[in-house]
Each structure stands twice: as C-alpha cells, then as structure tokens.
Structure 1
Amino acid sequence: MSAKRTLHEGWTVSGDPGAPVAVDSIPASVPGEVVSALLDAGLVEDPYTDDAERGVAWVGRHDWTYRTSFAFEPGEWDGIDLVFDGLDTVARVSLNGTAVGETANMHRRYRFDARSAIREGANDLEVAFTSPYAYAEAQRDRLGDRPNAYPEPGNFIRKAACNFGWDWGPNLAGAGIWRPVRLETWTTARIAEVVPRVSVEAGLGVVEFAVDLQRAADADLELVCTAGDQSTTVDVPAGAGVAQARVEVPDPELWWPHDRGGQPLYDVAVSLRSGGEELDAWSSRIGFRTVELDTEPDADGRPYTLKVNGEAVWVKGVNWIPDEALFGRIDAARLKRRLRQAKAAGIDYIRVWGGGTYESEDFYRLCDELGLMVGQDFLFACAAYPEEEPFWSEVEAEARDNLARLAPHPSLVTWTGNNENIWGWHDWNWQESLGGRTWGAGYYHDLLPKLVAEVDGTRPYWPGSPYSGVPELHPNEQAHASVHIWDVWNDRDYVHYRDWRPRFVAEFGYQAPPTWATVRRMATDEPLQAESPNLLWHQKAADGQAKLQRGLDAHLPPVRDFDDWLYFTQVNQARAVRLGAEHFRSLQPYCTGAVVWQLNDCWPVTSWAAIDGEGRLKPLWYALRDAYADRIVTFQPEGDGVKLVAINDAAEPWKGVIGFWKCSPQGRIIGRALMQIRIDARDTAELVLEGHAVPKDGEFLVTGRERFPRATWFTKEDKDMDWPAADFTAATALVDGGVAVTITAETVLRDVCVFADRLDPDAVVDKALVTLIPGEQATFTVMSEAIAASPELTAALTAKPVLRAIND
C-alpha cells in the first residue's frame, strides 16, 4: 500500500548575499511565502499598513532558499517521490545535495523521483528559488517585450499576475512553497491521475473513469471503481499504463445551484489492486448534473446562456480574486467564511479571474457543498503572452493538470481562455507594438479548447472574457455574448449603465473605500482625510480618488468631513452596482446574467469589492443581496417616464399585489397605486406608469414594506432634493449576542446605515441602506457581545458617526 507523509515542519528560509536585509535561516511556514516569513521574523513592516508595501519591494528581486530535514526509514518501496502541490515559482529542488527536479510554473503540481538521493536517517531537503523578476526579465529580453496593462514582467513567467500588483492589489512578488509538500512511497504501481467524467443520460448517472497509472513492474492489476453504491472492476493487463471504467448510478439526485435545488454529492473512489492487495487508492466527490452554454446566434446577435440540467439560469455573479495577497494565509476556514458571505448575498456564480490562481480543493469543495457555480479562467490577464517555448509547454502542462484536478467538482461549470486579452489586442494599441510577435491567440483559440475537450469533455469553453463569439466581431460587442462594462467607472456617471443592452455582463463595478475598521488598519494618518498620503497609497486605480469625487459631485451633497466622505462613497458604490444589476435583470431573458467586479479583496484597499480585505461587509454587499433576491421590483426609465418591473426568479409563480406610494420631498404620501401581478416562475412583468402615478419634479416613488426588497425612484439627485433634516427616534434593546437598534422615522431617512465596526471591529449588522418615510420603523440587529456589554458603546449606536442617513 502506498504511504503519504506531509513535510511541513522545520523549514527555514535564507536570502541571497545581495539582499538589503540579511536573512539567514529564519523560520518559514509551509505552505507559505517569503514575505510572511520576513514579517514573522520582524525583518519587514506589515505591508498592509500605511506605505510599508514599499519596504518589501526588494523581495521579488532576490533569490531565496528554503531548507528542512526529515527522517526516513527504508522499506521495500519501488517508488519514493517528493510531491509539491505548488512551488512559487522558478526553483531547483535538491535532496541531500543532489538536484532531483526544477520548476518554472506556480500553477502546476510536481512529482520528483527521490530514490537515488534519499538515505536512511536524516535527509536534507532544499528548494532554491530564483528571483521571479530576474527570470521574467530574462525571458522578456530573449523573446521581445509584449504589452501589459501594468509596467511589470508578469506575462513572462507562469506566476499569478496579481503578485506583481494590480489596480486593487499590492506588489508582493516573492517566492515560496505555497501549497502542500509531501513524501510518497509505493510498490509495484500507483494511481498517477484519475479524471471522472460525469454525465446524465436519460435519467442515468454516468461516471466515465479515465485512470493513468505509473508502474514499476509488469504485474497484472485490477481497478475497482465506485460511484455512490455502484462499482465495477476492470482488469489492467501487464504493461498497460491507462485504463477506463464506466459506472452507472440509477436515478441519481441532481446537483443544482443553491437557488435552484439541492446539492447531493456522491462519493467516488478508485482502488488499485494486485493479487488481492490494495496498492493505492484515490477518492473524491462528484455531483450529477449537466451544463451547457448556449451561444448560438439569434435574431438579436448571440446569447450567452448558462443551462444547468437543461434549465436556463440567470447568473447572479461576482468576480473572485485571491482572498489574500499572501497566499499561505488562505485556509479552509477563511474560504468558508467568504463563500458563505457570497451565498448569503444571493450570489450563485463565482468567476475565478484569470490574473490569480486555479483555486484550491478547499475552495471547490465548499462551492460544491454550498451550491455556488464557478467559472474558472485560465491564467492570462490584461497582457500579451508569448507562445514560444518554454511557455507553450508550460501552459499545456498546467492546463492538463488543472483540468484533471478540478474535474470531479460539479460546481465548476465553465472554462474561459483569458481575461481581456482578446479585447486588449483589438483596442489597446497592441498590434503595432507587437509587430507580429505572438500574444496568446494560439492558446485561446487552439490549445486550450482542444485540451478542455480532450481532458474534461463535460464542460463548455469560451475563448475569452469578454468575447463575442467569432474573431471578426469586436470582442466587447454588447449584442454578442459576454461583455465587460468599464466606461461607466472610468469616464461616465453610473446612471449610464442603463445605456447598455448586453447579453451577458462578465464584469462591471464601482469603487469605494473599505469599512472604517479596515481603513484604520491600512492608514494611520492623523487627521484622516480623503487625500491622506497613506490612504492614497491604498488607492491603486488610475485617478481613483478623482473618479470617486466625480460620483459624489453628481449625486450627493458636499462632504463636510472624512466621515461624510467615507459614508457617501460607500453609498455611491452600492447605488451604482445595484442600479446596474437591476437594469440588467430587467432585460431578461435577452440579458442572461451579471457578474459584479468584485466580491472580495486581498488586502486593505479602496476597491470595487463588496467584502473588504479584512472580511467586513461594505454597504455594497447589502445592495447586492437586494439586487440578487429571487423576487425584486425595480423602477426603470421608459422614454420620458418610468415603469415598474417585477422579476420572479423563484421556482413558483408569483401572485399578489405590489403597492407603491408617490411622496413629496418631505415624505408625505400624495398618491397610491396597486399592481396586481401573476408572474410565472423565472419570468418578469412590467407596468408603465401613467397619469397621477408618475412623479413630478422633486417627488419620489417607494414601494411598500413587502417582503421583497424595497424599490425607490427619485426625480432628483440627493444633492438637489429638498430633503428635510433627518429627524427620528432611536431605541436599543439587548438581544442574544448583540443589540437591536430600532429607528422610527419622523422625516424621510435616506439610506440609513449602522456602522457598528466603528465600535467593535468584529461587529456584524443584519441590514443597511434602508430608506424610510415618516412613521416607518426599521430594526438593525448588531451582533457584538462587546457592544452589548458596554452601555456607552450601545448608546453610541444611535448617533453619528455610527448611525448615518444621507440627509442627517
């Protein structure tokens, strides 16, 4: 029987003699990276605070060596392998002074034969990393430069592009053993790889096992392949290195996205045997479901419709970046929290963006269990990539590896060739600067689709995001397949999302700073202002502060202090994305999904995220929860007037009455209307408002307090509305684990929020962005034992800067 032993203990790391900080055998966590080791040793400052990121810029320009020792007792082994699930990035692996392997790709798993170098007793293991900058710049000089959205050489090394910095992330391009490492021993033969190809055929669950073997002897073998409670045995004759088996499961329960059904998972296993003895075993879990991507041209252009089990799904998505800039800190508990936050916001689809990583087993296991669909990009982003060797072979190896590794997971529904590179070739002045040099087209249109079909064969592939379906079309043509919408954030007011009529939106977003507690982690300036130097260091977007101010000027009253600026920018972000998401939903079924940029952050930063780098919910998260609810109503412009659109994404028909009021700026109800609805499952209905239902200048519309999220329509921006000064009463009451804050409105209250993280960084509030008219109440539940235990903190929940309304 094979044996596997992790090698995560006793590691140290040392720097090269030219490093500006002498680093000699300091402790290093594995999995982990150099920057974390330096930070733990007190040799660098926390790169997440103020501008300390500058102080680690040298790390990626130097070589690093990891070392550990382990004991080994010889046995009757035919194979002794060192196995690395991830090395970042260019490394030589040596055992007892003998080189056993080299690597040049962060995104692959590696297995090295250690038989010739291992010895009885103590063994010295060394992983020597070459500077990623030195390697990438040498490749760039050899092959000729290629365009990149950032002045970094990240497109010349198979390493996460965002390691070199992004418009939301730091440059921490170091090195390290970033995924598990172990010693594996085996006899006779071992299972090298299993790809379970899962399908549903006429109500029958089918698992086609493709098994690769590594042999040390030509013995006859057998494979026992199991799916659920069904199994089959396959004989593998002497000398054969591959085998296939088919297992059928009658009447399987189908796996669905969480808003469509359940997530039953079935155990699958492969046992390799010889002479009745088990030599090796592999196991995983699968879900039975079908997935299709309908992109057949129609009368309007080309759709991009995701179908699960034959049912079209309106995608309520977010983009995902690595959840930490220091990847070794990302564990299952952190991922579980983040993905549960996503599901709680009504999100059913996560696009793993191409500038990060092929996500971990923990990530995909959790998405399987939570019913979150995943679209995984191949790892190319915002740059031209060389196709010459060694890159072509490296890309093929990493694609094969990850296609096989992720094949069991039902949550994985699509593969996409790249992020914005086809768009870049068309629109970003690449063609002249490339001068005929390769840029990645061969990957996206040739290599990757062939590999997806060959290795997986059960999931659709799309060449790029965005991409319109054929090379002759502009890749961001809104009538054709997937688009990215960035003219709004970069150049225009967010109301211009309504100018778009897309088939599927794979990226759109709007910025805001993180929560107060996170701001204070990232910037210690006193007094804190929007233009404080350290706050600006954590604004990586080009002209980001100016774009935030443009949005404030268009919609909100002048800010009086930093507290206003923080609150108003966060409200603007939430309003912008909600407006866009509701507009795109109102276009269904013509439009088939929206994927917000972005769910999460990797450090404390002003960005497009709904959950900040410390894991705290920004107001945008609450707006997403409203916009992605199964049942919503939304007011949308119709010519010079307005219409009400009711959207039912539930499995049952929606019957009932929608009531809404027309109000004066003071909140006095000056008109009422009712809409009798009967909407089929997964359908919409709309009503164009006429006559007295249409609000006049200064008036506004608001739906009643029904269970679906409240919809509003304002004829003027807040900066121009004649709002009364906010008047309300606030009462607190202790509840289990926290405090309930009940607000009773005496006047209109716009976008009420309770920022409890100002009092307790760990506090969580159940709602935000609540608009009330006079006489209405809203109760905010603040989960915080620290606040509940303090009368002073409890009282602070009812006043600025914790309790806010736009017109306060």
Structure 2
Amino acid sequence: MFKKIFLFLILICCSISAQTSYRNLSSENWIFNKQNEAKKHKATIPGTVHTDLFQNQLIPDPFFGNNEKKLQWIENENWEYETHFTLSKSELENQNIDLEFEGLDTYATVFLNGKVVLEADNMFRKWTISAKSHLKIGNNHLKVVFHSAVQKGKEEAKKLSYTLPEKERVFVRKAQYQFGWDWGPRFVTAGIWKKVQLKFWNSAKIENVKYNQKVLNKTVADLDFIFTIFAEKSGKYQIKLGQKPFPFILKKGQNVVKVPLSIPNPILWWSNGLGVPHQYAFRFSLEQNQQKIEEKELKIGLKTIELIQEKDQTGKSFYFKLNGKSVFMKGANVVPPDSFLPRVSDSTYFSLVENAKKANMNMLRVWGGGVYFDDAFYEACDANGILVWQDFMFACSMYPGDEKFVENVKQEVIDNVNRLQNHPSIAIWCGNNENDEGWHNWGWQKQFKYTKADSTQIWNDYKKVFHGMIPKTLDSLLPKEKNIYWSSSPSIGWGRKESLTQGDSHYWGVWWGKEPFEIYEKKVGRFMSEYGFQGMPNLETLQKVMKKEDLNFTSEAFKNHQKHPTGYETINEYMERDYVVPKDFEDYAYVSQLLQARGMKIAIEAHRRAKSYCMGTLYWQFNDCWPVSSWSSLDYYGNWKAFHYQAKRSFENVLLSAEVTDSRIYKFFVINDGMQNYAGELKAEIRNFKGQLLWEKKAYCKSDASSNVSAILLPFPSLKEIDTQNSYIKLEFISGDNHFVSAFFFDKPKDLKLSKPNIEIKIIDEVTIEISSDVLAKDVFLSSENELFFGDNYFDLLPNEKRIIKLSKAAKGIKVKSLFDTMK
C-alpha cells in the first residue's frame, strides 16, 4: 500500500514539475526611494515614480493646476525599487527559472541577491533573464535601479558632433510624448510599468506562436500554426489541438514546428459596418510522455487585407481592400490614455474601442509618439471590427543610427510584432510619424546649421532604420498577407502639391495655417491620416483639475492645461469667423466645442464626398492623456465632446451631405459605405426656423454598396427669394423602411437669426427622454447634475421634431442649452 501511495505521489510531482508555471512578483511588498536617500516608501507594481510619490503624499496631484511645473525635478533623479520574496524548495527544483520583466521604464540595472543580472535600456521591450543560478531557497532580494532617462539622453546627445531635433528624447527608447507635446504635459517617468514574474519550466517552453494563411476562399481556409519552442534536450514531443495530436522530434535548443489545419466554409472577419468580426479560438498544448508542459490560447480572424497603390490620372491611389472589398476608412489617431501608463486598465482600452465603434469608426491609428498598447486594446479592436494602423514608436524628429541604437530598435520591433501580429485588427505597420516630412519641410537643416556631411549622415541613419532594418525585420517575421509596411506618415508634407495626389496626407492648413474650414473642401488627398482642430473639454472636466477661481483665461492653472503656444488665440480667431463669441466662460467652452465639431464635419464630409479619390479619413485626435484643451473628440475621462457626437453622425454608413459651389449652387450626395443597396426617394425642403415649408423638390435616388457616391443636383430656387439667415435645408432619403435625414444651413452660425426655443423634455422612462421644440433649437446641449451618457447630444432640433434620447442611467435634473442662449 505504501509503495502505491509513494508511486502516486511521484507521478503527481512529476506532472506538476513538467507544467510551466508562473509566480507574479508584482504583488509582493515593494518599496522605493530616491537614490542616496535612506527613507523608503511603499510602491505599487506596475507603477511609476510619479504615481508612487503621489500615493505616498510626497508630491501634489501632477495634473492639478500648474503642479506639473513644480515636479520637473523628478525626471533628473535616479530611483530605486526593491522587494523580498520567498522561494520554496519545490519551486527551486524546476530545471529552469526565468525572471521576466514585461516593461522596464527605461534605463534599469537589475540586481538579484546582490548581483547585476540585467542592464535594460528600452521601455518597449520584454526583458527575460535565466535566473535559477542566482536564486535560493527562502528569502530572495530583487532590486531595480532606474537611472534618469533625461540624463542618459543628454549623455548620448553629447556623443554626436551635431544636434538632432528634440535633443535628448530621440536617444531614449521610451514614450516620446512624456517629454511634452502640444496636447500633453512633460512627465518623464521611471518604474516597473508592466508585470514582473518568475517563469518555472522544465523540458521545454513555447516562445512564440503565429499562423499563416496559405489558402483562404469560400470553401476552405488552409492554415499553418508555427510554434517556436525551446527544448532543454532533444526528444519526442507533441502539439495537441483539442484532442488531435501532432507528434514531432525536438532538438536541443530553439525549434520551429508547423501544425497544419484546414477550416471548411470559413467565416471571414469583417470591419465595423461591413459585417461580423468573426474569430476562431484555438487552444494548443505542448506535451511530452502524455504530460502537459504548456498551454497557449490563440484567437484569429480570417481575412485578406491589401493596400492598393495604382497610378491614375491624378497621381496614385491609396486605399485598403478587406476581403476583396474596397473600404473607406473612418476613424482617428489614438494617443496613450494617460501620462502614467500603469493607471490604464483593460477596461479603459475596452471603453476607448467601444467609443470608436459607437461613432461608426472602422480604423484607429496608434500614433508613433506613444507606446505599443496593451493586448487589451487590440483584443477589443479584434472583437469590435476596428482595424489598426500601427505606428512604430518614433515621432516628429530624426533619430540616431549607430549600431547599438539600431540593434535595440530591432529587438523592440521583434518583441512587438511577435506579440501583435496574430490580431486580425492589424492592417498596416508604419515606420514613424512625420519624421520624413519634418526632414524635408520643417527647416531643421537651417535651424541646426547642418553641414552637408551632417545632413548626409542624418538622412542615411534615417534610411538605415526606416527603409532598411524595420522592413527587413518585418519580412523575417511576417507572412506576405500580414506584411503591409509604410515607412512614414505622411508620405509627403501638406505644403506640397503631391501630398494631395498620392500616399497619405496630414493636412494642417486649417489650425497651423489659419486657413478657413471651407478649405477642407478643396484640399482633399487620397487618404487623410491627420487633420484637426481644438475644442475645450466640458467645464466639469476642468473643475476636477483646477480651483473655481482659476477657471478663466488669465490663470496660470488654466494656461497650463493648454499646451499649444497659440491655442486659445487660434480658437478665438476661428470663433470670431463663425460664431458670436460668448463672454461667459462656460458658454465659451461650449461654443469652442461647437466650433471644433463644425470644422471637423466640413472636413470629414468633404473626404467622404470625394470617394473613391479619397479613401480614408482619420482625424487628429481621438483621446487625451490628461484633462486639457486639445484636438480630441473624447476628453481624458472618456466624455464625448460635441465633435465625437458629430463624428458619429458624419461616419454613418449612409450619409446625406451637401456641397455648395462658389455660386451657392447645392449638390446633394448619398454616400453608402455599407454592404446594402438602397433605392428610393430623395426629398429636399427649405423651411424657415419656425418649420414653415418654403420650397421642396423630390428625385429618385439609387445608392449601391458597390458604387462610390451618388451625387444629385436638384433645381434650386433663387436664394434672393429666401431669407437664408432664417431658413435651412432638410434632406431626406427614404428607401423602404430606411429613413435618413440631415439638415444644412445657408449661413454661418453667427449670422443665423435664431429665436428663443421652447424646448420640452418628456420623461418616457428612467433611461429614455423625448425632446421637442416649437422653433429651431440649434446645437442642443443636454447635461445632468449626475454624470451620465446621453445617446445623442449637441444636435440641431428641428421645429416640432420629436427626438428620442437614451440615457446610460437615470438622470438627476436634466439641463438644456442651445446656441441661442450664448448669443445674447
């Protein structure tokens, strides 16, 4: 009996020891201190030194008022983090123990039981150390010393005989926006910003899993799952998919193993607005001698994606085909959701992507001055049909090209492409944001007095990274169907004619160039990957980060939450063109949002009317990293600004839009980006602000999903006979049960003869209201004493229209405002 029990225990122990297992060290008791200071404080891992200092009440809230300026000393110090953890005898008996840091920010020396085991120098890489020989049974000591990234960057900069733009930040492989941007504060962080763990493994471990689509058609998908496996010694192993085994022989060291799989009648992955983003889930296990060593789960989406660039009469096309269908991309540029990244939870990423889907987007661009986002972001994009334009993390400068730097970046590319490539949402990999444009158009050569030799060296270093190393590395990692690479966004700067005839465009004639919004209708490129205009956040957002007495344009606290040097001056100049400028601060914030939404509506709809010449519109910017006046449509807390509500309307699959020629002739458009065909009656009406019908015209309209845009020119009455300041165009398209409506105005908002609306709100149920008005209520803004989400807001309420609005929860004291209230 004893022998049987003993044998059973041996089998259990063998089974346990064969399994790969993990020990999360993030949850241990961590402490930190400024180097050379004896006093230590409690730390949170993952975390940053700024958030740890704040949690220990050693600094004020970094976001509040102008505290940012008082906290710049932190970036120049070195910081030490440490913990003790106990290791059991059974844990140490594993053949291998790896110490894994998923993210170290940025220059870190790691000590394990007093010995240096790692020197890290890249925030974006995963660092793994074989740690068993440094560990012991019982108490172990782990210490990480973070060296000032600013000081390290300055040291590297001194090694060059010339100055690179943006100085120290370009030498440091960390999030570039942390050095300050025209929408974000300067908080150059340090810390263990992602999970740290021990990995226990024995005979073998799975280092990577990816898949290739060999064949994809209506009847079959033939796939190869490719495993990179490291084996301690050669032997017989098997990969098991479900209950199906795939045996093979592993040699000692690194092995690459292929597992073929066929899926009959495959269901394709589609982007938002075109179909279901279907995914297949697989669970693989690596086994030996009928013992499970390690398991991996993989979700995939079956799709084809192509970037089509073909010469035509005006230049060269730039558009994506998804599963053979040409897709007009609608979306925005995403920045990191916080200055302190460990505070960003999975739910934050889920919420961001959900807000993109609700606004009818199908693409988000992960901007190159931030970070490669956590898996949760890409998983949310996979599940919601949001395609991802993925930049590598370089922005608005030139970078060094020495061997050490290039090799560091190469490992960064390998780590992140291996992590992200299986996501069906990934559409394109882009080398950088605006580096190429900056070099050719921003005058750096003159500003920094480069010699001819300097310029040659800097450009050759650029080509070495973005035309050489990165695309070659992608070629080694990705199958052809996943390998779409674009070296720099934009391909040509906005001041050059070619920027609107080929490649992607960042058009900044509006805002930076002070050109009127209407220029958007003339300056349309092939794929608009950046353009934008600022709007203030709601008053409630600003109240969270400044005192009541600081809510004015002269306070230092308020000025600190506008990072563009002429931000409010520019907003005010545009507001004077289009609106009556309010004197009240709260009204001004509201009108600034209307101004932003108006400008972006003109841009988005001009881009969509130009389909198929233009095949994408990604505005700047989607979100914020702190409470601030910026180009975002979502504020830091996730609240929808007027612009986000407008984006939702302008991104609808079926859009009714109007174009006005210089002679004030109207052309109406029915734009269809979906899969469904529509045919029916298009009706145009002119009504005054009391709702009285002044003119109407009807026409048959057909809008096919396979076509581009249906343009209809209706005979129009002489505008001399119409009081354009007291009337609007109502456009309706009725196709079966589908009813689409839009309203257009002849004159700018400041010139409209608005009268006081009698707005009535009727409670339908706890989360539903009906709103109506006796006359036109322009730009109706709903708010509540408690924080909640209104399903529609900042909308034009037409005379006698009854509009149903859904609420996220029961409202306490709904307040309503319209543009009329600000024009007194």
Using the size of structure 2 for normalisation, the TM-score is: 0.90
Give deviations 1:748-790, integer Å, cap 9, x for gaps: 221111133xx22x221121232234333334444443x44xx
**710-719 or 130-139, which moves further after superposition?**
710-719
Partner of 1:215: 231
Q: What is the aligned counterpart of 1:335 among 346, 349, 353?
A: 349
Partner of 2:141: 124
| Counterpart AA for 1:702 | K
Secondary structure, aligned partner of 2:52: helix
Alpha-carbon deviation of 1:462? 0.8
1:423/1:476 contact within 8 Å kept: no
1:210/1:242 contact within 8 Å kept: yes
Distance in 2 (CA, whole Å) between partners of 1:617 and 1:398 is 34
Give deviations 1:171-225, integer Å, cap 9, x for gaps: 11110111111100111221222232345434432333333232322x2143416
Distance in 2 (CA, whole Å) between partners of 1:132 and 1:395 is 17
Give deviations 1:66-96, integer Å, cap 9, x for gaps: 1111111234322111001111111011111
Partner of 1:482: 504
Q: 5 Å matches for 1:633-652?
A: 633-640=656-663, 641-652=665-676
| Counterpart AA for 2:686 | K
Alpha-carbon deviation of 1:483? 0.4
Secondary structure, aligned partner of 1:602: coil
1:231/1:247 contact within 8 Å kept: no
Q: 5 Å matches for 1:346-365?
A: 346-365=360-379
Alpha-carbon deviation of 1:300? 2.1
Distance in 2 (CA, whole Å) between partners of 1:225 and 1:466 is 45
Is residue 654 of structure 1 aligned with residue 678 of structure 2? yes
| Counterpart AA for 1:197 | N
Is residue 441 of structure 1 aligned with residue 455 of structure 2? no
Partner of 2:85: 70
Partner of 1:92: 109
2:666/2:716 contact within 8 Å kept: no
* Pairs aligned (count): 783
Partner of 2:751: 720
Q: What is the aligned counterpart of 1:733 among 763, 771, 775?
A: 763
Q: 1:199 to 1:335 in 2, by over 3 A?
A: farther
Q: What is the aligned counterpart of 1:499 among 512, 517, 522?
A: 522
Q: 5 Å matches for 1:180-579?
A: 180-198=195-213, 200-203=215-218, 204-217=220-233, 219-224=234-239, 226=241, 232-238=246-252, 241-432=255-446, 433=448, 434=450, 435-436=454-455, 437-438=457-458, 439-457=461-479, 458-467=482-491, 477-490=499-512, 491-526=514-549, 528-579=551-602
Distance in 1 (CA, whole Å) between partners of 2:200 and 2:28 is 21
Partner of 2:701: 677
Secondary structure, aligned partner of 2:227: strand
Q: 1:198 to 1:326 in 2, by over 3 A?
A: farther
Alpha-carbon deviation of 1:725? 2.4
1:163/1:325 contact within 8 Å kept: yes
Give deviations 1:621-650, integer Å, cap 9, x for gaps: 110000000111011123522211111112
Distance in 2 (CA, whole Å) between partners of 1:80 and 1:50 is 47
Secondary structure, aligned partner of 2:499: coil
| Counterpart AA for 1:111 | T
Alpha-carbon deviation of 1:445? 1.0
Alpha-carbon deviation of 1:273? 2.8
**559-568 or 475-484, which moves further after superposition?**
475-484
Q: 1:231 to 1:155 in 2, by over 3 A?
A: farther
Q: 1:558 to 1:300 in 2, by over 3 A?
A: same
Give deviations 1:404-438, integer Å, cap 9, x for gaps: 11121101111011100010111011345352333
Alpha-carbon deviation of 1:705? 9.3
1:530/1:565 contact within 8 Å kept: no
2:754/2:820 contact within 8 Å kept: no
Alpha-carbon deviation of 1:681? 1.1
2:580/2:750 contact within 8 Å kept: yes
Distance in 2 (CA, whole Å) between partners of 1:590 and 1:264 is 30
1:751/1:806 contact within 8 Å kept: no
**691-700 or 64-73, which moves further after superposition?**
691-700
Distance in 1 (CA, whole Å) between partners of 2:552 and 2:782 is 21
| Counterpart AA for 2:406 | W
Q: 1:183 to 1:238 in 2, by over 3 A?
A: closer
Distance in 1 (CA, whole Å) between partners of 2:660 and 2:645 is 23
Distance in 1 (CA, whole Å) between partners of 2:820 and 2:356 is 25
2:237/2:288 contact within 8 Å kept: yes
2:335/2:367 contact within 8 Å kept: yes
Alpha-carbon deviation of 1:133? 0.5
Distance in 2 (CA, whole Å) between partners of 1:804 and 1:28 is 52
Distance in 1 (CA, whole Å) between partners of 2:488 and 2:247 is 41
Partner of 1:6: 24
Secondary structure, aligned partner of 1:334: helix
Alpha-carbon deviation of 1:701? 1.7
| Counterpart AA for 1:176 | G
Distance in 2 (CA, whole Å) between partners of 1:146 and 1:350 is 34
1:4/1:183 contact within 8 Å kept: yes
Q: 1:59 to 1:13 in 2, by over 3 A?
A: farther
2:381/2:425 contact within 8 Å kept: yes
Partner of 2:4: none
2:45/2:192 contact within 8 Å kept: yes
Secondary structure, aligned partner of 2:595: helix
Q: 1:497 to 1:146 in 2, by over 3 A?
A: farther
2:331/2:356 contact within 8 Å kept: no
Distance in 2 (CA, whole Å) between partners of 1:653 and 1:527 is 54
Distance in 1 (CA, whole Å) between partners of 2:73 and 2:238 is 51
| Counterpart AA for 1:719 | K
Secondary structure, aligned partner of 2:191: coil
CA-based RMSD: 2.4
| Counterpart AA for 2:693 | I
Query: How many percent of aligned residue pairs carry the same amino acid?
Result: 27
Structure 2 residues without counterparts, runs of 5 or longer:
1-18
2:689/2:799 contact within 8 Å kept: no
1:60/1:172 contact within 8 Å kept: yes
Distance in 2 (CA, whole Å) between partners of 1:428 and 1:442 is 21
Distance in 1 (CA, whole Å) between partners of 2:244 and 2:650 is 43
| Counterpart AA for 2:137 | E
Alpha-carbon deviation of 1:254? 0.9
Distance in 1 (CA, whole Å) between partners of 2:167 and 2:61 is 23
Secondary structure, aligned partner of 1:477: helix
Q: 1:146 to 1:636 in 2, by over 3 A?
A: farther
| Counterpart AA for 1:211 | F
Partner of 1:28: 43
Partner of 2:717: 692
Partner of 1:711: 742
Distance in 1 (CA, whole Å) between partners of 2:695 and 2:162 is 65
Alpha-carbon deviation of 1:598? 1.2
1:211/1:243 contact within 8 Å kept: yes
Q: What is the aligned counterpart of 2:99 among 78, 82, 87?
A: 82
Using the size of structure 1 for normalisation, the TM-score is: 0.92
Distance in 2 (CA, whole Å) between partners of 1:177 and 1:708 is 53
